[in-house]
């Protein structure tokens, strides 16, 4: 079913969808490589992970139906809230929910703004971080 | 690393030490590998141009890492980053010199936290990325 909006009914119906839960072991080597890639020589690493390291663990974002109509994706930003530190040797479970979608008009035409909420929980059941991430999707330029 | 800051000594208006980055295409590839973000706009120039971009662009998440780093470099071993946010206003490209600055804009003595506003500016001085962080600091 089509509407005048670029948000299709299938897209709208996907709000609340949860991606596959991932379970990841936090490895010292992965922390070191991540810190080196940022250029961050903080002596707290690799015993602890840098704040944005969690993003590298590969969250599974729930599918956005009809994404072919807006194939160009840009990261709009994130809000992170932290609990206890993430340490090498931890095991972290990650789940991502499609929290909301809305339409906006940008310089380059209509855009779909998708907000995802990701929760990271360690082996003690503690929420080590939550991330709200905005993804901006657009059509390819003519 | 600087000395451990204490909340007793930090007031609104305090400027954190700046962080300067000179990202190269090589660093973007390194970050792609370390982060698992292999979106081609960050290392394949032809692909990026076909997407309407000027060329390869820096991962937003990498800039986000620097926005956090300007705070974690300063807060010391006894400091804790409690929350932070980042907003991308414009793209950045490798070869440019990027400078992250941050200042304290709020202080909650009871909670033992300060709130910092963070900016990342390109070589022309335009702010392309902004952030905010709440940082816990120890008392003397």
- Cβ–Cβ of B69/A50 closer than 8 Å? yes
**Distance separating alpha carbons of residues B71 and A27, to the nearest angstrom:** 24
- 3-class state of residue B35 by DSSP: helix
Tokens linked to B125:
């001085």
- Cβ–Cβ of B72/A40 closer than 8 Å? yes
State residue B79 phi and psi, 5-degree precision: -85, 160
Provide the shortest C-alpha distance from residue A84 to chain B (in Å).
9
Q: For B8-42, write each residue's pLDDT tens digit.
A: 999 999 999 999 999 999 999 999 999 999 999 99
ipTM of the complex model: 0.94
Provide the shortest C-alpha distance from residue B27 to chain A (in Å).
6
Provide the shortest C-alpha distance from residue B125 to chain A (in Å).
21
CA distances from A103 to A11, B83, B128 (A): 11, 28, 23
pLDDT of residue B102: 98
H/E segment holding residue A9: helix A9-13
Q: For B49-97, write each residue's pLDDT tens digit.
A: 998 899 999 999 999 999 999 999 999 999 999 999 999 999 999 999 9
Q: Is A39 on the interface with B (CB under 8 A)?
A: yes
The residue of chain B nearest to residue A55, with distances taken between CA atoms, is B35
Q: Is this structure's pTM higher than 0.90?
A: no
- Cβ–Cβ of A30/B34 closer than 8 Å? yes
The residue of chain A nearest to residue B34, with distances taken between CA atoms, is A34
The residue of chain A nearest to residue B85, with distances taken between CA atoms, is A79
């Amino acid at each position: 079913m089509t509407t005048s909006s670029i948000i299709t009914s299938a897209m709208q119906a996907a709000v609340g969808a949860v991606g596959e839960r991932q379970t990841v072991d936090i490895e010292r080597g992965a922390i070191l490589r991540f810190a080196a890639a940022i250029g961050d020589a903080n002596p707290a690493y690799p015993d602890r992970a840098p704040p944005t390291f969690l993003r590298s663990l590969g969250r599974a974002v729930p599918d956005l139906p009809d994404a072919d109509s807006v194939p160009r994706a840009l990261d709009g930003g994130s809000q992170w809230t932290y609990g206890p530190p993430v340490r090498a040797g931890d095991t972290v479970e990650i789940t991502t929910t499609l929290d909301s979608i809305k339409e906006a008009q940008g310089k380059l035409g209509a855009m779909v703004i998708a907000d995802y909420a990701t929760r990271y929980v360690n082996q003690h059941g503690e929420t080590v971080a939550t991330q709200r991430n905005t993804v901006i999707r657009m059509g390819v330029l003519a | 690393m600087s000395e451990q800051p204490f909340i007793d000594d930090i007031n609104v208006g305090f400027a954190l030490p700046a962080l300067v980055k000179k990202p190269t295409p090589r660093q973007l590839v390194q970050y792609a590998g370390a982060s698992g973000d292999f979106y081609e706009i960050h290392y394949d120039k032809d692909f990026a141009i076909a997407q309407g971009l000027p060329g390869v662009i820096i991962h937003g998440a990498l800039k986000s890492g620097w926005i956090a780093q300007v705070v974690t470099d300063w807060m010391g071993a006894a400091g804790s980053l409690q929350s932070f946010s980042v907003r991308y206003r414009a793209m950045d490209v490798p070869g440019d010199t990027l400078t992250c600055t941050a200042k304290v804009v709020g202080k909650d003595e009871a909670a033992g936290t300060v709130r910092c506003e963070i900016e990342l500016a390109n070589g022309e001085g335009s702010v392309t990325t902004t952030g905010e962080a709440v940082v816990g600091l120890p008392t003397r």
